[in-house]
Structure 1
Amino acid sequence: MLFLKKNLHIGTTLPEGTMFARDGAPKSIHFFSTPLESKYLPTILSYFKLPHGLMKAKQVADTLHSCGKPADKAEPHMCFSSREEMARFATRELGVSGTRVATTRIHGHENPSSMYVVEHITQLNSNVVPCHPMDFPYEVFYCHRPKQVLSLRVQLKDLKDGMPRVMAIAMCHMNTSDWDTQYFELLDGEHGEPICHYMPTNYVMFY
């Protein structure tokens, strides 16, 4: 889902097999909520009957670790299990009276053999709060306000029949000077140049 910003233009063909659909984080049958802190890991694993050795248990531990990182003034972040709390966080961090929401939407059904072509590009905003679903027994999102980014709405059509298939949200990181060299080697780019990525369907972006 990564690409160089300079390669995004009308007529760009995405790699075959590009898929945008993602399942949302699973929700528990019985509502369960506890602070998203590592000290509550035993309580959460016990409630959902997850033995410590399971990969799912490690994913829960990793999520709690990410959510519990100290507050960063440069890039504020928080985890939420409530969409309403996510919206309030975004409103506060963006400094606006109300936020708009953008998500990637698929028209019809995806096919692994489908190929998409960029039909239209619209610039949205540079002041955004993206929220990423985390691995957890119930829905948890990691929301943050990244610096030096640009969000775009990209209309993609089917290469074969020309029909509109995906309205994708893309996030471009404009300053990648501190990124690992492997990203630029992978994308055949120059170190520090803008890198973008598409947001799957289960991501939420406030702007």
Structure 2
Amino acid sequence: MDLRLFSILGFLSLALVVTSATLPSEDYWQSMLPNTQMPKSIRDLLPSASADLTEEKSTAVGVGKGGVNVNTGKGKSGAPTSVNVGRKGVGVSTGKPDGGTNVGVGKGGVSVNTGPKKKPVVVSVDPKSPFVYRYAASEDQLQDNPNVALFFQEKDLQSGTTMNLHFTKTTPGAAFLPSKEADATPFSSTKFSDVLQRFAVVPGSKEAQVMKNTIQECEEPGVQGEDKYCATSLESMVDFSTSKLGTNVQAMSTEMDREETKKQQYTITGVQKKASDKAVVCHAQPYVYAVFYCHATLSTKAYKVSLVGADGTKANAIAVCHTDTSKWNPKHLAFQVLKIKPGTTPVCHFLPEDHVVWVKS
């Protein structure tokens, strides 16, 4: 079985979590961080403000020889939202004449289309996150992995430097759960069967393995010298970050001027270093809803880097440099890509579009 169901679960999770007439996660941000702008990457993960937030919804899943059909109940327009998985792929329809969320699976990968204003993006899932520094790189990661090019040395952060880069998203379509829903939703290896049942994921499938990997990464200890936490809601991400940095903070993400980007040569046109050497970096994890692996260290520098691609694409990219890598796995992806040893020189990487770095203002 391929990643067909996993690709649509982020969409289906909205039917489980939208329960009030306001967006409580956004309200919580404003109450805790009134002077901090919310990055687009985070805002994109909030439940849609145009959704029916007051009507109860139900989710039914039917599996037959022809595939899988999921009906999430009637929305405000009275039309049902349905998902059909057949032999040739996945189709999602919200039943609305003005467009909705469509998911398609073909031989080239999984694409998610959230309506007429957004173009499809491809979901790719790595065996192990390259931003968890306990792991040795796998052979798959050393091959055609877009994250390979994101690693570089701090000395390269200067105007005129060129790099071959491809900025991607970890789990397009996955949305945050409100805090109460996240707290009530199992997220542990000991209750993994409950997790699969809740989201109608087949045990032993690729979808299940991806979700299990994320949970296990969250349960394992971090490297020495870092405070680690997995945030399963926006509220919990805010709480962890402010507990380490205070409430006078900035939250930053890589932003592109185009929805679709490709691997190409980018030229650095400007570099701005953030004053604090303490940061909290939150990496989006592949999961049915938005989950972030956050870690805080005293040996992290953050930069905002202006880039221009060969095709004219402009990016305001966030780069993070780790000045102490002595406790990282000696076979980590960064060391193999840069041909250096742990603890010898700072290791830097750009953040994918849906990752976040928090620094003191």
Same fold (TM over 0.5): yes
1:10 shift after superposition: 0.9
Name the structure 2 match of 1:20: 167
2:254 maps to 104
Backbone CA RMSD of aligned residues: 2.6
Distance 1:156 1:76, change over 3 A: same
User: Aligned in 2, Cα 1:58/1:200: closer, same or farther, shift over 3 Å?
Assistant: same
Shift of 1:123: 0.6
User: How do 1:154-165 and structure 2 match up within 5 A?
Assistant: 154-159=305-310, 165=314
Residue identity (%):
27
Bigger relative contact order (CA 8 A; separation at least 6):
1
Q: Relative to 1, partners in 2 of residues 1:9 and 1:72: Cα closer, same or farther, differing over 3 Å?
A: closer
Q: Secondary structure at the match of 1:154?
A: strand
| Distance (Å, rounded) in 1 between the aligned partners of 2:227 and 2:263 | 39
Instruction: Give 1:1-207 correspondences, 5 Å limit.
Output: 1-15=150-164, 18-22=165-169, 23-24=171-172, 26-27=174-175, 33-69=184-220, 74-94=225-245, 96-112=246-262, 114-124=264-274, 125-159=276-310, 165-179=314-328, 180=330, 183-189=334-340, 191=342, 192-207=344-359
- Supply the AA of the counterpart residue of 1:9: Q
Deviations 1:90-138 (A, max 9, x none): 01112x2332110100012444254210011111132111111112111
When residues 128 and 42 of structure 1 are mapped into structure 2, their CA distance, relative to the original with a 3 A threshold, is same
The TM-score, its normalising length taken from structure 2, stands at 0.50
Q: Distance in 2 between matches of 1:118 and 1:48?
A: 43
Q: Which structure's CA Rg is the greater one?
A: 2
Task: Give aligned pairs, total.
Answer: 201
Unpaired runs of 5+ residues, structure 1, are none
Matched residues in 2 for 1:113 and 1:170: separation? 17
Query: Shift of residue 185 of structure 1?
Result: 4.5
Q: Is the 8 A contact 2:166 2:263 kept in 1?
A: no
Task: Provide TM-score, normalisation by structure 1.
Answer: 0.84
| Displacement of 1:160 | 5.7
Counterpart of 2:220 in 1: which secondary structure?
coil
Q: Structure 1 residues 109 and 80, CA, compared in 2 at 3 Å: closer, same or farther? A: closer
Q: What residue in structure 1 maps to residue 10 of structure 2?
A: none
Is contact 1:4-1:189 (8 Å) kept? no
Distance (whole Å) between structure 1 residues aligned to residue 263 and residue 190 of structure 2 = 45
Residues 28 and 145 of structure 1: is their aligned pair in 2 closer, same or farther, counting only changes over 3 Å?
Answer: closer
